[in-house]
Amino acid sequence: MNPPDHLVLIVDDDERICQALTDLLESQGLSAVAFRSAGGYLAYARPDVPACLILDVQLPDINGLEFQRQISEGDHPPVVFVTGHGDIPSSVRAIKRGAVDFLTKPFRGPELIEAIHAALAQDRRLRQEKAELEELRQRLCRLTPREREVLPLMVSGLLNKQAAAELGISEITFQVHRGKVMQKMEAASLADLVRMAERLRIPVTHSRRKAS
């Protein structure tokens, strides 16, 4: 059997809930794996596919909300909370920390499926963005030190003359570096390069007006 293109991770201490959720998700063609505790989930070697995490608020080893806070720093899929009895402050906290949804048991099937799909979509998008960013980083790594000095000056919008003066090199030399940067970063236009620099959080250090 081919590895699935997605995975729903379930963490709930109640065996019956785990079974029911797995069954429901499978009936919808979704791959699911269930864990009875937060520790079991952490120990699992997660496949590198879009995923989402269905988290019970009352876990045997830790409070679900606290667990969400702990994993928020790391590389974990979006969370959908389910709880026996939801209260407004808890749900607000969960959503603020990025939970996709906060469902109260017993939940309606479609509602849950919808939330799972939303979460998977979000994870796909995140994974996509992350992959793109990773690609841009790869490209950035290919630049020489001089080219890495040239890039910020380019995206700052300086004239070639100004930028060359800034670096203490001739305008011709600067134009050569500039061409290499555009080529290595696979940028179609200067606007494209500016967008890339933004995603790579390369600061705009100079202003054309300031220099003039």
Among 9, 11, 17, 120, which residue interacts with another protein (rule: CB under 8 A)? 17
Describe the crossing of helices 190-199 and 145-155 by its angle, rounded to 10 degrees: 110
Query: Is residue 90 part of the contact set for another protein (CB under 8 A)?
Result: no
Which residues 162-191 are close enough to bind another protein by CB under 8 A?
none
Coil, helix or strand at residue 69: helix
Say if residue 106 is preceded by a cis peptide, omega within 30 of 0: yes
Q: How far is the CB of 104 from another protein (least distance, A)?
A: 9
What is the C-alpha separation between 121 and 119, in angstroms, rounded? 5
Q: How far is the CB of 42 from another protein (least distance, A)?
A: 23
Q: For Cα atoms 148, 151, 155, give the angle at the middle one, nearest 5 degrees.
A: 160
Binding segment for another protein among 20-28, 37-45, 122-130, 170-178 (CB under 8 A)?
A: 20-28
Q: How far is the CB of 80 from another protein (least distance, A)?
A: 13
Residue 87 contacts residue 98 (beta carbons within 8 Å): no
Among 47, 60, 109, 179, which residue interacts with another protein (rule: CB under 8 A)? 109
Number of residues that bind another protein (CB under 8 A): 22
Query: Is residue 108 part of the contact set for another protein (CB under 8 A)?
Result: yes
User: Which CB sits closer to another protein, 29 or 168?
Assistant: 29
What is the H or E stretch that residue 8 is in? strand 7-11
- In 26-174, where do the E strands start and end? 32-35, 51-56, 79-83, 101-104
Residue 62 contacts residue 40 (beta carbons within 8 Å): no
What is the C-alpha separation between 68 and 79, in angstroms, rounded? 8
Q: How far is the CB of 109 from another protein (least distance, A)?
A: 3
Residue 46 burial by Cβ neighbours in a 10 Å radius (0-12, 13-18, 19+)? middle
Query: Is residue 31 part of the contact set for another protein (CB under 8 A)?
Result: no
Per-residue mark of binding to another protein, 136-165 (x: CB under 8 A) = ------------------------------
Per CB under 8 A, residues contacting another protein are: 14, 16-17, 19-21, 23-24, 26-28, 58, 82, 84-85, 105-110, 112
